Structure 1
Amino acid sequence: MSTNSEPSGRQTPQVYRRRRLLVLLGIVAVVVAIVLIIVRPGASSGDEGSQSAPPASESAAPETAIPTEPTAVDGDPCGPEQITVEAITDKSSYAADEQPQLSVTITNTGKNVCVLNAGTKAQVFTVTSGDEVYWTSTDCQTDPVDAEVSLTPGTPISSSAPIVWDRTRSNPETCTGPRETVPGGGASYHLAVAVDGFESAEQKQFLLY
């Protein structure tokens, strides 16, 4: 008696369908794995390797404010950078019977009006020859006064009245008695002046005969 059996070399259609399904699932799994490797779920676009640098405005250290120099205004005390003091004599040489007249000129070379003490109490006249100091106006000064003045830029001011030097050596111990006359005969002397602590940049030379 014969039976209708499938040939031994062939499989049923269900088997082939299952195989194709398994192959398809394998391919899908491989594709999904590749996609996961490339996309890396959970990582943002800036997470690859290292995070992108923050904007310069965030990463840069805050700049330290540089203090500016105070702006000078009219009426401020005079500063050394804006004051020029000039020692003045009425002549460059004096005969034996002439006495030098000494004065001072002060100039504000800045841009603003400034204030200083130009009174006789703040003035110092010094006469030297070589390394020796012969006379200083404060040695025997009487009734010195303060006088605050406002200096306009570019407008020099000078002594209202010169100091007359009697050609003698000054010494606080001999202010009420006779004093020694300094050498003449063409001897060279130099005058320096300071006003309110501002000194003359140069000394004024003069000769005594």
Structure 2
Amino acid sequence: MTGTPARRRHSPAVYRRRRLVLIITLLVIAGVIWLLIAQPWRGWGAESTGDDAKPQSQNTATSLPVPTSPQPNPTGTGTGAVEGAVVEGTSTPSATPGATPTAQPCVAGDIVVEPVTTQDSYTGDQSPQFLISLTNNGADCTLNVGTSAQSFTVTSGSDTWWRSTDCQSEPSDMIVLLGAGQTVTSAAPLTWDRTRSAVGTCDDPTRPRAPGGGSSYHLAVEIGGIASTQSKQFLLY
């Protein structure tokens, strides 16, 4: 009688391969389950629009920079800078390179520009000091408030005595964001040495001096292409 042939036992290598295939299959199934639960692709879109990709907003104005200009030196040994030529609470000119404005340029009709003097009158040993006040009565907007966009003019009657732009040194741009209803002023006053200005006489120590004795003068200012609608009167003694 012929019996059933005995089953041939597989070699240990076959069992090892089978176990390896089973382990790999289980790992693949576990990976698929993790992908369905974690869904890591959800963060890819957020990463592409994260902080590095977001357009940077303009710096918000906190104060206005102050123009500098050489002053006549009585000794003839050089020039000096206008007093108070500093910038407080503002960034470097032109704000952040590559910044994208978060608002439209300011509309002249929404901006009120006013000249400001530190005193109503100045005695013979005092030099008048000037500032600019800027108020945004419209929506948030951007404006160039840099020293290149500022102008201070002193007149007496029809006679123009002094312009800050005649001897201004190293003017620069500064685009800032003006918030709705925001008012900003110069970081520090600009000083007038009470002499007549003209291009080409910036280093001349013999420039004519403005008469005192109660003489009346008017300050007008302009910033970002927007001029003050009224001048500010002050007296020299």
Which bin holds the TM-score, normalised by the shorter protein? 0.5 to 0.7
Query: Where does residue 150 of structure 2 map in the other structure?
Result: 123
Report 1:23-42 matches (<5 A).
Answer: none
Query: Where does residue 167 of structure 2 map in the other structure?
Result: 140
Q: TM-score, normalised by structure 1?
A: 0.63
Report 1:1-209 matches (<5 A).
Answer: 75-110=103-138, 112-178=139-205, 179-209=207-237
Measure the CA separation in 1 of the matches of 2:182 and 2:212: 36
Q: TM-score, normalised by structure 2?
A: 0.56
Q: Percent of pairs identical after alignment? A: 51
Shift of 1:164: 0.3
Larger radius of gyration: 1
Shift of 1:80: 1.1
Measure the CA separation in 2 of the matches of 1:81 and 1:129: 28
- Match of 2:209, SS? coil
Higher relative contact order (CA 8 A, sep 6+): 2
- Quick one: which amino acid aligns to residue 115 of structure 1? T
**Corresponding residue pairs, total:** 136
Query: Where does residue 59 of structure 1 map in the other structure?
Result: none
Alignment RMSD: 1.2
Query: Where does residue 58 of structure 1 map in the other structure?
Result: none
Unaligned runs of 5+ in 1: 1-72
Unaligned runs of 5+ in 2: 1-100
Shift of 1:128: 0.2
Measure the CA separation in 1 of the matches of 2:175 and 2:217: 31
Query: What per-residue deviation string (whole Å, max 9, x for no partner) do you get for residues 145-190 of structure 1?
Result: 1111111111100111211000000011111112111111100000
Moved >4 Å (runs of 4+)? none
